[in-house]
Structure 1
Amino acid sequence: MPKKPQAKRISLFNHKGGVSKTTSTFNIGWKLAEQGKKVLLVDCDPQCNLTGLMLEYSQDEEYPYETSDVKNPRNIKDSVAPAFDGRPRPIEASEIQSVPGRSNLFILPGHVGLSEYESRLAIAHELGGALVNFQNIPGAIAHSINLTAEKNGIDVVLIDLSPSLGALNQNILMSSDAFVIPMAPDFFSAMALRSLAKTLPVWGEWSKNAGENSILKSADYPWTGKPVKFVGSIVQNYRKRLRDGEDRPTRAFEKWFNNLKSVLRSDLFESFETAGFLLDEDAYDEMEADPKDFMVEVPDFNSLMAISQDLSKPVFTLTRDDINTSGSVANNQIASVAAFDGIYKNAAQKISLALKHI
Structure 2
Amino acid sequence: MAKIICLFNHKGGVSKTTTAFNLGWMLATMGKKILLADFDPQCNLTGMVLGYQGIEDLENTYKAEPPNNIKDGLSPAFESKPRQIIGADCVQVTGNSNLFLLPGHIGLAEYETTLGVAQELSGSLLALRNLPGSLRFLLDATADKHGIDYVIVDMSPSLGPMNQNLLMTCDHFIVPLHPDYFSAMALSSLAKSLPRWAAWARTAHGIPALKDADYPFPEPKATFIGAVVQKYRPRNGQPSAAFQRWVDQIVNGLQQELIPSLENAGLLDRGEFLSRVGFEPWEPILNVADFNSLIAQSQEHLVPVYALTAKMVEQQGAVWDQTEESMRKFEEQFKICAERVIALVG
* Aligned position for 1:328: 318
* Aligned position for 2:150: 156
* Aligned position for 2:137: 143
Q: Which of 86, 105, 108 in structure 2 is aligned with 1:114?
A: 108
Please state if 1:67 is matched with 2:57. no
Contact persistence 2:51–2:300 (CA under 8 A): no
* Aligned position for 1:3: none
Distance 1:288 1:136 in 2: 41
Percent identity, aligned pairs only, is 45
* Aligned position for 1:30: 25
The 1:143–1:176 alpha-carbon spacing in structure 2 relative to 1, beyond 3 Å, is same
* Aligned position for 2:293: 303
Q: Which of 15, 23, 32 in structure 2 is aligned with 1:20?
A: 15
Distance apart, 1:64 and its partner CA: 3.4
Distance 1:52 1:13 in 2: 19
Equivalent position SS for 1:281: helix
Map 1:126-141; keep pairs closer than 5 Å.
Answer: 126-141=120-135
* Aligned position for 1:234: 228
Contact persistence 1:41–1:159 (CA under 8 A): yes
Please state if 1:39 is matched with 2:34. yes
Q: Which of 284, 290, 302 in structure 2 is aligned with 1:294?
A: 284
1:209 maps to a residue whose letter is: T
Q: CA RMSD in A?
A: 1.3
Alpha-carbon displacement from aligned partner over 1:226-259 (angstroms, at most 9, x marks no partner): 22100000000001212xxxx3211110111111
Distance 1:93 1:338 in 2: 37
Equivalent position SS for 2:36: strand
Distance apart, 1:95 and its partner CA: 0.5
* Aligned position for 1:352: 342
Please state if 1:209 is matched with 2:203. yes
Contact persistence 1:22–1:50 (CA under 8 A): yes
Distance apart, 1:87 and its partner CA: 1.7
1:208 maps to a residue whose letter is: R
Contact persistence 1:204–1:227 (CA under 8 A): no
The 1:266–1:61 alpha-carbon spacing in structure 2 relative to 1, beyond 3 Å, is closer
How many residues are aligned here? 345
Distance apart, 1:279 and its partner CA: 3.4
1:156 maps to a residue whose letter is: Y
Alpha-carbon displacement from aligned partner over 1:251-279 (angstroms, at most 9, x marks no partner): 11011111111110111011001001113
Contact persistence 1:238–1:249 (CA under 8 A): yes
Contact persistence 1:238–1:300 (CA under 8 A): yes
Contact persistence 1:65–1:75 (CA under 8 A): no
The 1:48–1:289 alpha-carbon spacing in structure 2 relative to 1, beyond 3 Å, is farther
Equivalent position SS for 1:182: strand
Distance 1:157 1:62 in 2: 22
2:63 maps to a residue whose letter is: T
Alpha-carbon displacement from aligned partner over 1:115-138 (angstroms, at most 9, x marks no partner): 000110000001133222211000
- TM-score, length basis structure 2: 0.97
* Aligned position for 2:44: 49
Distance 1:7 1:309 in 2: 27
2:292 maps to a residue whose letter is: N
Gaps (5+ residues) in structure 2? none
Gaps (5+ residues) in structure 1? 1-5
Distance 1:217 1:111 in 2: 28
* Aligned position for 2:264: 274
* Aligned position for 1:82: 76
2:216 maps to a residue whose letter is: P
The 1:141–1:325 alpha-carbon spacing in structure 2 relative to 1, beyond 3 Å, is same
Please state if 1:317 is matched with 2:307. yes
Equivalent position SS for 1:87: coil
Q: Which of 332, 336, 339 in structure 2 is aligned with 1:342?
A: 332
- Structure 1 outlier segments of 4+, above 3 Å: 56-62
2:49 maps to a residue whose letter is: M
Equivalent position SS for 1:301: coil
Distance 1:103 1:43 in 2: 19
Distance apart, 1:225 and its partner CA: 3.0
1:353 maps to a residue whose letter is: A
- TM-score, length basis structure 1: 0.93
Contact persistence 1:128–1:137 (CA under 8 A): no
